[in-house]
Structure 1
Amino acid sequence: MQFGFFDDKNREYVIQKPDTPLPWINYLGSVNFFSIISHTAGGYSFYKDALLRRLTRFRYNTQPADINGRLFYIRDEDTIWSPAWKPVKTGLDRWECRHGTGYTKITSAKNDIEASLLFFIPVGDNAEITLLRVKNTGNKNKKIKLWSVIEFCLWNALDDMNNLQRTLSTGEVEIAPAAIFHTTEYRERRNHYSFYATNTNPSGFDTDRDAFFGQYNGYHEPEAVSRGNCCASVAHGWSPIAAFQFDIALAPGEEKEIIFSLGYVENKADKKWEKPGIADKKQAQKIIDKYSSPGQVSAALDELKSYWDGLLGVYSVSSPEKKLDRMVNIWNQYQCIVTFNISRSASGFETGIGRGIGFRDTNQDVLGCMHQIPQRVRERLLDVAATQLASGGAFHQYQPLTKRGNNVIGGDFNDDPLWLIMAVCAYIKETGDWEILSEKVMFENNPGITGTILEHLLKGFDFVTSRRGPHGLPLIGRADWNDCLNLNCFSETPDESFQTCTNMDGTTAESVFIAALMVLAGKQLAQVLSHEGHGKKSDEVNKITGDMEQTIVKHGWDGKWFLRAYDALGNKVGSSSNTDGKIFIETQGFCGIIQAGHDKGYPLMALESTEKYLATEHGIVLVDPAFTDYHLNLGEISSYPPGYKENGGIFCHHKPWV
């Protein structure tokens, strides 16, 4: 079933039915302020960090899905409907969503009222702007009531969800005629607040969630909408919201426009207060005033489109294949920038709570966009390098707000340091910026331990090459690129995290994948060392990579494809001798890239086996056959039912490398 189409001229994907198989999401924002928005206006906004600076509340794993976000209600006599279709889900005469580059537009109609919603984040400002248009397309006068509602998150998204004994007692707001300011915890340690404002004086407002919706009502049936009026509630603890009501009269053919701004402001310590107990709102007012007219909003949207014109215009192709041009020229490049910005830390599946930005992930992400934003990539590489451990290993993730590494989802993923080598070398190839190698950067965010970027790369390489198992292959540690291949876990305890538990000493389980990546990264590192005048060290690295390539040929070949690993008991993983999990995707691609066993025809045989056993009409599966039983020696990968996630799922991530 087709739900939409690509509009190549306008660089938009057009969704024509609201009941898509899953919420189809766009990502708004360019530098610091970001929003996730579904095709029915669900989602949330945050400043830099979806865990620590969440502006609006969102609930995952709900039924129905995608139930809250940006809520709009229209009451036309006794008919209540939502311009975005959800949350009311009243049948509409017409509905369409257009996800564009950095903006989303939803248009709908019901009973001679046409409504459109435009959402975007302007370049350079920490705010999401919404332009709402309502038009009477009939031949009779219309009187409608309209509501716009957002629900504030109490900043820390995990606390907001779990620590109710505190958060239900902290909510605070300040109210202006056409703006509601969320000032929870501003009275104490916070120097930031958020706001939801409109350019049109509302007919009513609410800031207390229960007062607006009713204690036992869902988002689809707000009590205020049912009775026709807000009640001017003032949140004091519990759950603050911003709800505006507008009573609108429309003559035939008449259209009215209302602008909303959801923003974030930080004040300096000596600028926190306008007067005792009243937050200083000068910065917020500047943003509100800047987007107070349709002309200003239109100009900001044009600037945003020009911004994306510049990014997408750096590289383009022209081929006989329309779909290839579309993918390369628009959507692949757009999505690479989005991934750089958010690094999969927040999505329809990642809640923004359980992880920050990954070390490995980020070094991979920059590979796809450094031709577009080289300066930002440079800054990101320095940030990531600063979280590297003094040993040469790496924190597996760091929080984007604090830029500090942590082991919340585990550590000791032994492939991590090699990806920094890959990323820095790719950056130099793209930009010619050899000076980055001499930049001094902290280890472990500790100003007392510093080293040049080149020293970071060497420490990372030495970390991997000095940790080898019985076959001379690199030790896997917690896991490698396949985070669920936990060969040292051996977990028998329910509720124990596969990502953080270790029950083996880690001196036996080896990764053929890390070996191949080590060769690939090492060859590039050797070239860098040679260029920088370190010929002896370059020769040493080349010797190590050459020896490792031969080790892969000797101990990593299974007969028709490359092995995946050796487990903590010394058994082969990803072998024809296994009952399940005979062949994995990662080593076929990377061992092929380094041409391991080329003189014996191994790379071609491995790709032929990939096509035979892993390739499907929907993409290449990660492993075949999928595991049907839990294997203590393999960890999380075998905990999933066949076909889910790493146990035989299709990962878009791996396919380009293969």
Structure 2
Amino acid sequence: MKFGHFDDLNREYVIETPKTPYPWINYLGSEAFFGLISNTAGGYNFYKDARLRRITRYRYNNVPIDMGGRYFYINDNGTVWNPGWSPVKTELDAYECRHGMGYTIIKGKKNDLSAEVTFFVPNGYDGEVQQVVLKNEGASAKTFKFFSFAEWCLWDAQDDCTNFQRNFSTGRVEVDGSVIYHKTEYRDRRNHYAFYSVNDAIDGYDTDRDAFIGLYNGFNNPEAVLAGKATNSFADGWSPIASHYKEITLAAGESKTLIFILGYVEMPVDQKFEADGKTINKVKAKAMIEKFDTPEKVAEGLSDLKASWDKLLGILNVTTPDDKVDRMVNIWNQYQCMVTFNLSRSASYFESGIGRGMGFRDSNQDILGFVHQIPDRAKERIIDIASTQFPDGGCYHQYQPLT
């Protein structure tokens, strides 16, 4: 069975069915903020360290596979579906996923309503941009309910999935307009928070997972989505989430663009709060949101990302009698080497990002694959690795980036 094809002109792999033999993932980000995303929008995000700064939850060894991610739900007059097919798994009229160089585009269509979602981490940016383009391709007006969904991890991914008796009381959120803030432990012991925003007014929200999904429901049938309305729940402990709700009406042929940003912010200790001493300082978050609050800004950010990859992949180019060899050497091997350098295999769908960290030997070996592209970063990595050595020449077998 054929599952997709290579688009060499755009440097993309095009997946033509959501039912791949295993979730086929892409990596977003190449500096500090990273995301793993599957062809059905599963995966998770983290800042620098997949264990100590995990931003969104992901459940390994789950049944069914690949549960948890950045999901968008559409309730179109009782028909509930996702642009990426999962987790509702309603059969779509059309589906396509394009994994590119640092970005992924997922397209879905059901009952004359199409949704195209572009995911990427812009250069020099501590967040993931998610642009959703909804279009009514039918002959009459269409009104539907639209929901976003992300589940917060309580920062330390290992503690998050083991220390339940403590974690059920630590989750904290703040809602300001169309922005949901994840401020767990911010008052007590942290100077960082995360946020999930949308560039439009919303009709409701949910921040408590049990209120949104229901105690006896799952990602495939959240109660709020089935009901067609958010509950405006406010998480105090338990499992905090971020879900925006909006009712949308599109005339025949009309389209609407929504821009979501999942971001990470660090604040100086003496600037953590506003004057009241309780409200988190949102100056940096607002600046991040403003940077990509229009389709034009998003297009510019994506173009800049593609240009940076054009430059990296233009350093080494080979021509052989076999176009498959050319594709492998000129595009995908180099891309894979850069991903491996960034994460040293520490975060994938087979490595949880919790126990392995950056391997001393492996990270040294990884440098060989990309030193011709970014020698300055290779030098930085060598210095980082050397700093973990002992005076007698020994070293840690592996280390977490933020330790």
Q: TM over 0.5: same fold?
A: yes
- Give how far 1:257 is off: 0.4
Aligned residue for 2:230?
Answer: 230
Partner deviation per Cα, 1:357-390 (whole Å, 9 max, x = no partner): 0001100100000000100010000110111122
Partners of 1:401 and 1:303 lie apart in 2 by 28
Work out the CA distance in 2 between the residues paired with 1:195 and 1:278: 14
Q: Secondary structure at the match of 1:274?
A: coil
Give the TM-score normalised by the residue count of structure 1: 0.61
- Alignment partner, residue 377 of structure 2: 376
- Structure-2 residue corresponding to 1:191: 191
Code of the aligned partner of 1:324: V
| Equivalent position amino acid for 2:239 in 1 | S
* 1:47 and 2:44 aligned: no
Q: How many residues align?
A: 402
Aligned pairs for 1:85-104 (under 5 A) are 85-104=85-104
Counterpart of 1:485 in structure 2 is none
What's 1:389 paired with?
A: 390
How many Å separate the matches in 2 of 1:145 and 1:40? 20
Identity of aligned residues (%): 57
Written as runs of structure 1 = structure 2, the 5 A alignment for 1:122-271 is 122-271=122-271
> Which residue of 2 is the match for residue 111 of structure 1?
111
SS in 1 for 2:253: coil
Is residue 2:67 matched to residue 1:67? yes
Which whole-Å CA distance do the structure 1 matches of 2:168 and 2:391 have between them? 42
- 1:72 positional shift: 1.1
SS of aligned partner of 1:364: helix
1:361 is aligned to 362
Q: CA RMSD in A?
A: 0.6
Opposite residue 339 of structure 1, the aligned amino acid is T
Please give the secondary structure, in 2, of the residue aligned with 1:226. Answer: helix
Residues 515-537 of structure 1: CA deviation (Å, up to 9, x unaligned):
xxxxxxxxxxxxxxxxxxxxxxx
Is 2:264 aligned against 1:278?
no
Structure 1 letter corresponding to 2:248: I
Inter-partner Cα distance in structure 2 for 1:401 and 1:3: 38
The aligned amino acid for 1:341 is: N
For 1:156, give the aligned amino acid: D
1:325 equivalent in structure 2 = 326
Distance in 2 (alpha carbons) for counterparts of 1:318 and 1:200: 48
Equivalent in the alignment of 1:21: 21
Cα distance in 1, alignment partners of residues 384 and 344 from structure 2? 14
Residue ranges of structure 2 left out of the alignment (5+ in a row): none
Structure 2 residue aligned with 1:580: none
Matches within 5 A, 1:593-612: none
Q: CA deviation at 1:71?
A: 1.2
Offset at residue 216 of structure 1 (A) = 1.0
Q: Give the residue type in structure 2 aligned to 1:140.
A: S
The runs of 4+ residues in structure 1 deviating greater than 2 Å are none
* Secondary structure of the structure 2 residue equivalent to 1:212: helix
Q: What are the Cα deviations for residues 319-339 of structure 1, in whole angstroms up to 9, with x where unaligned?
A: 221001101110000110000
> What SS does structure 1 have at the residue aligned with 2:373?
coil
CA–CA distance in structure 2, aligned partners of residues 153 and 120 of structure 1:
20
For residues 423-438 of structure 1, the aligned pairs below 5 Å read none
Cα distance in 2 for residues equivalent to 1:213 and 1:244: 13
Secondary structure of 1:159's match? helix
SS in 2 for 1:265: strand
Give the Cα separation in 2 of the matches to 1:310 and 1:263. 26
2-side partners of 1:367 and 1:293: how far apart?
Answer: 40
User: Match of 1:332, SS?
Assistant: helix
Q: 2: distance between equivalents of 1:330 and 1:131?
A: 25
* Counterpart position of 1:338: 339
Give a deviation string over 1:565-593, Cα, whole Å, max 9, x none: xxxxxxxxxxxxxxxxxxxxxxxxxxxxx
CA distance in 1, matches of 2:154, 2:121: 21
1:388-467 matched pairs, under 5 angstroms? 388-402=389-403
Shift of 1:246: 1.1
Q: Measure the CA separation in 1 of the matches of 2:180 and 2:156.
A: 20
Q: How far apart are residue 285 of structure 1 and its match?
A: 0.5
Alignment correspondent of 1:439:
none
The separation in 2 between residues aligned to 1:220 and 1:77, in whole angstroms, is: 17
Q: Greater helix share, 1 or 2?
A: 1
> Quick one: distance in 1 between partners of 2:97 and 2:195?
26
The alignment status of 1:306 with 2:310, answered yes or no, reads no
The separation in 2 between residues aligned to 1:261 and 1:246, in whole angstroms, is: 16
Matches of 1:109 and 1:272, distance apart in 2: 43
1:73-106 Cα distance to aligned partner (Å, 9 max, x none): 1111011111110000000000000000000000
> 3-state DSSP class of the match of 1:96?
strand
Secondary structure of the 2:30 match is: coil
1:350 corresponds to = 351
1:9 corresponds to: 9
The whole-number CA distance in structure 2 between the counterparts of 1:135 and 1:61 is: 36
Q: How does 1:519-538 map to 2 (within 5 A)?
A: none
For the residues of structure 1 that align with 2:156 and 2:355, how far apart are their CA atoms?
12
Work out the CA distance in 1 between the residues paired with 2:284 and 2:122.
16
Measure how far apart 1:401 and its partner are: 1.3
- Measured against aligned partners, the alpha-carbon deviations of 1:35-80 in whole angstroms (never above 9, x if no partner) come to 0000000000000000000000000000111011011111110111
CA distance in 2, matches of 1:143, 1:61: 38
Asked which structure has the greater CA Rg, the reply is 1
Q: CA shift at 1:393, angstroms?
A: 1.9
Q: Following the alignment from structure 2 to structure 1, what is the Cα–Cα distance between the partners of residues 237 and 78?
A: 33
Looking at structure 2, the residues matched to 37 and 222 of structure 1 have their Cα atoms a distance apart, in angstroms, of 21
Distance in structure 2 (CA, Å) of the matches to 1:158 and 1:219: 22
Q: How does 1:77-92 map to 2 (within 5 A)?
A: 77-92=77-92
Of Structure 1 and Structure 2, which has the larger fraction of its residues in strand?
2
Report the secondary structure of 1:362's partner residue: helix
Distance 1:389 1:399 in 2: 17
Q: 1:281-319, CA deviations, whole angstroms, 9 ceiling, x for partnerless residues? A: 100100001110000000000000001111111111112
Cα distance, 1:234 vs structure 2: 0.5
CA–CA distance in structure 2, aligned partners of residues 68 and 360 of structure 1:
32
Residues of 2 paired with 1:353 and 1:284: CA distance? Answer: 27
Separation (CA, whole Å) in 2 of partners of 1:18 and 1:126: 29
Secondary structure of the 2:329 match is helix
Deviation at 1:258, TM superposition (A): 0.2
Deviation at 1:189, TM superposition (A): 1.1
Question: Counterpart of 1:368 in 2: which secondary structure?
Answer: coil
* 3-state SS in 1 of match to 2:161: helix
Q: d(CA) in 1 for partners of 2:187 and 2:164?
A: 19
C-alpha separation between the residues in 2 aligned to 1:111 and 1:2? 26
How many Å separate the matches in 2 of 1:235 and 1:325?
A: 52
1:2 positional shift: 1.4
- 3-state SS of paired residue (2:75): strand
Residue 287 of structure 1 corresponds to which residue in structure 2?
Answer: 288
Structure 1 gap ranges (5+):
403-658
Distance, in Å, in 2 between the alignment partners of 1:169 and 1:354 is 25
